[in-house]
Amino acid sequence: MKIAVVGTGYVGLVTGTCLSEIGHTVTCIDIDQKKVNKMREGISPIYEPGLDELMKKNIQGRRLFFTTNHNEGFEEADVIYIAVGTPEKEDGSANLSFVEQVAKDIATHVKTDVVVVTKSTVPVGTNDWIKEVIQNNLVHNVKVDLVSNPEFLREGAAIYDSFNGDRIVVGASNESAASIIEEINKPFGIPVFKTNVRSAEMIKYAANAFLATKISFINEVSNICEKVGANVEEVANGMGQDSRIGSQFLNAGIGYGGSCFPKDTKALIQIAGNVEYDFDLLKGVVRVNQKQQEILLDKLNKRFNSLEGKKVAVLGLAFKPNTDDMREAASIVITKHLVEKGAHVVAYDPVAKENATKILDSNVKYATNTVDALKDADVALILTEWNEFKDLEIGTFVENMKLPVIFDGRNCYDPKIVENYFVEYHSMGRPSVK
């Protein structure tokens, strides 16, 4: 199959690369010439483990191409994937202007029948609207079918997830378009679940909203655990062993971030609102998530009368490990608060520094490794559970810090082990060690 992928953000680039890996000829289109030049050399603009290697392999195999030219990309394509961004508007709804532009470009350039696949996360009903935009602008007399094929990849594990996903959702209004997409995906060996277009669009939002709900739920439970002397990790384990609940996404902490959960939960609230339905539960999920960061800060402020002039070592800035993505990272709100309180913030993240410098307050300083960040610090805050931090000897905090006080927003250490050291350790939903 000849495939074009429009948009080489995280979704588009991973999708295009993995489709080339299973044998398709894929042309990825992006308007950014500099980015395209880099990708042609096999250099990914995002940090995603394993992606560069896979890109290089398929570029050399002449199955993966990059261009800024829509004509070149669309000309012979049997299938076109739309994978451009749908950023959040101020009111929480999804901004579809990039999608609209792609629809118009497709209408201008396609010369043969084509299946258009939407990978971008779009509100229910958008695929029908995209079809209309394409039909209204078509230059040549060709047949265009729309398929909704949402992605369920996690950043940092996107390549693994592409080959090991639980299901591939294909939402189409006719069987022939659905079977083309089913055929394309066959080599992945992942079960295909066919639905109508609107159900597929809804599955994506509902799945992300449900996962976000699990996180906010366990975070509220963790707040209660702290007050009643329970340990949220034990509680989550005990709950998760019930297969109806499942053990995943029950890690308490400073809440979810990233480019998906915050945006998609708010968008689903909007989608519901548009049909006069008040999605009250999901509103609570969003509120709880914001509150989690404040809870960590409250604990810190209670412990220290003032943070003025205190050296605070921040370990981890990315919204989660194995990514350099800073979008909606808890570190944004937390470091802002620390700087406002007059703290001297020294942060270290294994890969997110470059992105962090563009977003965080200019008063935040950056260390090049953990030990440098911890040197003479009054307190350490762990905001991302990188393995590098999880594997740290607790002694490293003792040896390097002025006062070994740790506030762990991601429950990286076992309090039973920490007890053996001369440290003060506060985590989320578990008894403190003093």
Q: Does residue 120 touch ligand UGA according to CB under 6 A? A: no
Tokens of 298: 């409250």
Measured in degrees and rounded to the nearest 5, phi and psi for residue 275 equal: -110, 30
Q: Does residue 316 touch ligand UGA according to CB under 6 A? A: no
260 is catalytic: yes
Nearest to 415 by CA among 196, 225, 131, 179: 225
Q: Does residue 66 touch ligand UGA according to CB under 6 A? A: no
Q: CA–CA separation, 146 vs 114, rounded Å?
A: 9
Q: Does residue 85 touch ligand UGA according to CB under 6 A? A: no
Measured in degrees and rounded to the nearest 5, phi and psi for residue 47 equal: -85, 110
Unique residue bearing structure tokens 């709804």: 93
Q: Between residues 67 and 93, which has the closer beta carbon with respect to ligand UGA?
A: 93
Nearest to 42 by CA among 29, 58, 26, 55: 55
Residues 194-213 close enough to bind ligand UGA by CB under 6 A? 208, 211
Q: What letter represents residue 232's amino acid?
A: V
Binding residue for ligand UGA, selected from 12, 16, 42, 253, defined by CB under 6 A: 253
Q: Between residues 144 and 218, which has the closer beta carbon with respect to ligand UGA?
A: 218
Residues 317-346 close enough to bind ligand UGA by CB under 6 A? 319-320
Binding residue for ligand UGA, selected from 123, 257, 350, 409, defined by CB under 6 A: 257
Q: Does residue 152 touch ligand UGA according to CB under 6 A? A: yes
Binding residue for ligand UGA, selected from 51, 110, 147, 260, defined by CB under 6 A: 260
CB 27 within 8 A of CB 73: yes
User: Catalytic: which of 18, 28, 260, 412?
Assistant: 260
Q: CA–CA separation, 334 vs 399, rounded Å?
A: 25
What number of CA atoms fall less than 13 Å from residue 96's CA on the CB side?
Answer: 16
Binding residue for ligand UGA, selected from 129, 188, 217, 249, defined by CB under 6 A: 249
Q: CA–CA separation, 409 vs 431, rounded Å?
A: 13
Provide the mask over 218-247, with x wherever binding to ligand UGA is found by CB under 6 A and - wherever it is not. Answer: ------------------------------
Q: CA–CA separation, 155 vs 163, rounded Å?
A: 14
Q: Does residue 408 touch ligand UGA according to CB under 6 A? A: no
Q: Which residues bind ligand UGA (CB under 6 A)?
A: 151-155, 208, 211, 215, 249-251, 253, 255-258, 260-261, 319-320
